[in-house]
Structure 1
C-alpha cells in the first residue's frame, strides 16, 4: 500500500476499491448539493427546463399529488410616526396547516425589516441572504444599507431565477437617511414604493379595512389598532391566514416589536366590544370606542331578509 501511495496508483480509478469510489462519489454529490454554503447566490436548479411549467406535468405523469397553494396576510403602511408592519403566522400547504407560529416578519438589521409571502422556503432563504449582505455592507462601508439597495438586491435575484419556480412576494420597510421607506418586491422582478401595501391571499380583506381607516396623520395607537384590525378581519375571512398577529413599528430609533396577539384573543375582544356598542346604542348612547366595520348595515339588513323570507313562504 505504501508503494501504491508513493507512485500514486491508488488514485487511478480502475485501481481504487469499490468503497473508496463510492465514498468519493458521495463526497462529490454532497459538495455539489451544498455549493450554496460557499456562494449563496448559486442554487441547484431542477434537472429539466422550465421547472414551473414542466414540474406539474411530471407529477401528473407519476401520479404524485403535490399542492403548492400558498396563503398568508401581511400588510405595511407609512404614516407620520414611521412605518407599520403587521402579519399573521399561519403556514399552509393546500388544506394542511403546517405551522401556526411562522415568523413572517424578519429582522434584517436594527433599522430594516422584511415580510414573507409566497413560498416559505424561498422567502426565508433569501431574507437570510439579504440579512447577511446588510451586515457585510455595514462592516465594509461603516454605514447601514439603504432600503432601496436591499430591494434592488432582491430584484436582481428574482430576475436571475425568473421562470424557475421561485414564488416570493415581500415588503421591505426601514428607516434610512431619506426617512421611512416601504418597498414591495416579488419573484417577477417588480419593485414598487408606496404608502400602503398588503400581500397574500387575505390581502383583499385587509385592504378593505385599510382603505376605510387609513390616513397619514394617524397617531401611534391608532396605527397599531388599524393594523391589528385589518389582519384580524383577513384571518376571519381567509382560511389560509391565522395564528398570531405580530405588529412592528419602525421609526428613527429603529424597529420595535409592539405586540404578538393571538387571533382568538382579538376575536373575543372585538366581539365583546361590538356587543357593548349595540347595548349602548339601544340605551341611546353612541359609545366611545370605535369598532371595525361597525356600519350597522348588517343589523338593518337581516330583519329585511327575514321579512322577505316570510312573505315568500306565505
Structure 2
C-alpha cells in the first residue's frame, strides 16, 4: 500500500470545519485544561530532569502514576506537559527520527538536533499540538537544556520549568540554583521544585520522577519521592443508623423535560 503524504504548508481544514459548525449554531468543543509540573537544571557533570506523575482529565485525576519523562535517545530525554496523547506521540516520533538520523550519519545524536526537529514540527501546527516540552541531554559538546513551547519557540537556560505548576517550581530554582552544583544538590533541588508544583497546583500531584544524564550514563529514578502516600486509617468508624437526627422530611417528584431540535431532514428509508 502506497503512503499518502499531506501537501506542503499549513492545513486549515479543521478551522474551516469549526467555522461551518459555528454557522450552524452548534456549540464548539471546549479546550481541555491540562496540568503538569516539569523541570530541568544543569549541574557540574550533566543535567537533572524532573516531573510529577499526575494525569488529569478536567477536574478528574485520570492517572496517579503516569510517566512524563520520555525517551529520545540513550543520552537525551524529554519531559512533556500538555495534552498527554500529543506529548506521547510527538516524543515517540522524534525518537524514531533521531534513531534514523543516527544510523544515517553514523554519529551519536546531539541535543540541538532533537530540539530543531521538535520546534519545526510544533511550529508547523501553530500550537494545535498541545505539547510543552523540556528537552535535556549530554552530547559531544556538553550538557544542554531547552524548553520548547507548543507554538515552536525555544529557550536555552541553565534551569527551566514548564506546565501549570511552573511558577511554583521556578520560585524554588531562582532561590536555590547555583552554578556547578553537585549531583546530589541538583537532584534535591529538582525534587523540591516538583514538590512545590505538586502542593501549589491542582493539576500536578502524586509522586516525583527524576532523570540524571551525564556523559557516561543515564539514570532514571522512578518515584524517587512520594509525598502523597495513602495512609490507612488507624481504626474503622462505624455509626449506627439514627445517630444523626433530622427535623423534617420532604419527598419531591423529579420531572425532566427535554426539547429536541431537528437540524435538517435526512433521506427517507427505502421500504420498497
State if a TM-score over 0.5 links the two structures: yes
Aligned residue number for residue 246 of structure 1: 209
Q: Which of 132, 148, 151 is 1:185 aligned to?
A: 148
Between the aligned partners of 2:25 and 2:51, the Cα distance in structure 1 is 38
Is structure 2 residue 189 aligned with structure 1 residue 223?
A: no
The structure with the largest alpha-carbon Rg is: 1
Between the aligned partners of 2:45 and 2:92, the Cα distance in structure 1 is 28
8 Å Cα contact 1:170/1:185 also seen in 2 = yes
The alignment's C-alpha RMSD in Å is 2.9
Deviations 1:233-258 (A, max 9, x none): 21011111012210110111131013
Moved over 2 A (4+): 38-42, 44-51, 57-67
Tell me, what secondary structure is at the counterpart of 1:212?
helix
Between the aligned partners of 2:24 and 2:53, the Cα distance in structure 1 is 31
Aligned residue number for residue 80 of structure 1: 44
Task: Specify which structure has the higher proportion of strand.
Answer: 2
Between the aligned partners of 1:41 and 1:192, the Cα distance in structure 2 is 30
Is structure 2 residue 121 aligned with structure 1 residue 157?
A: yes
8 Å Cα contact 2:125/2:151 also seen in 1 = no
8 Å Cα contact 1:228/1:245 also seen in 2 = yes
Unaligned runs of 5+ in 2: 232-272
Q: Which of 127, 134, 137 is 1:171 aligned to?
A: 134
The alignment of Structure 1 onto Structure 2 pairs a total of residues equal to 228
Between the aligned partners of 2:83 and 2:180, the Cα distance in structure 1 is 35
Between the aligned partners of 1:154 and 1:100, the Cα distance in structure 2 is 27
Q: CA deviation at 1:262?
A: 2.1
8 Å Cα contact 1:59/1:66 also seen in 2 = no
Specify whether residues 63 and 159 from structure 1 end up closer, same or farther in structure 2 by C-alpha distance, changes over 3 A only.
closer
Between the aligned partners of 2:142 and 2:133, the Cα distance in structure 1 is 20
Q: CA deviation at 1:59?
A: 11
8 Å Cα contact 1:59/1:65 also seen in 2 = no
Between the aligned partners of 1:199 and 1:64, the Cα distance in structure 2 is 28
Between the aligned partners of 1:203 and 1:74, the Cα distance in structure 2 is 7
Between the aligned partners of 1:68 and 1:251, the Cα distance in structure 2 is 36
TM-score between the two structures when normalised by the length of structure 1: 0.65
Between the aligned partners of 2:23 and 2:53, the Cα distance in structure 1 is 29
Moved more, 60-69 or 175-184: 60-69
Task: Specify which structure has the higher proportion of helix.
Answer: 1
Kindly report which structure 2 residues correspond to 1:111-150, keeping only aligned pairs within 5 A, or say none: 111-150=75-114
Between the aligned partners of 2:166 and 2:140, the Cα distance in structure 1 is 30
Q: CA deviation at 1:121?
A: 1.3
